Structure 1
């Protein structure tokens, strides 16, 4: 009976875990910023950073497993590091759109700040 109770507790504990990372191909996380214009996309397989003001700047690397903190998620790649602060509403400053999260991105030796949110595949881009 004790083994069954421990198994039930373990099962319930596993069910209580909630991931905020993109869930495969159905969801993509997109972050962006202005001055300079940049974007970062996490699609479950890779992280893709682009900078609009620098043609040809496109850095792609495998998406690492996130480190889940109490305020958000951290992704440490070889060249791209992303810190997502969930639930801090954010405006990109150029449009009326409000994003769910604030983000900080470090690419090589450069730092960027902006906004981000998960985007479902059925959402028009």
Structure 2
């Protein structure tokens, strides 16, 4: 089980992110069910983690504008197993999207300090 909490009406979990051969770094990320990707990270964190660049992807932002995003490869522990994920570099807080949540059940107690739990589906 992966757990976190609600802060200012945002479901947040701590997740370890690492590049091949690099130590992991703990990242607080907001769960965004409107984001279809795996994970976004700001540029300074991508650089600090030394994530390998894999290409570009077109992305539609929350305001509806379309942009080109740099994409990197990282590993995160997910349901007890390492999982390779694509990281989209984007400004703002790190976001966890629906691709990472795929195959999971998420429950959120939507009050300040409420529990966020993510369980692997059978």
State the TM bucket, normalised to the shorter chain.
under 0.3
| TM-score of the pair, normalised by structure 2 | 0.27
User: Whose helix fraction is larger, Structure 1's or Structure 2's?
Assistant: 1
TM-score between both structures, scaled by the size of structure 1:
0.27
Q: Which has the larger radius of gyration?
A: 1
Structure with bigger strand share is: 2
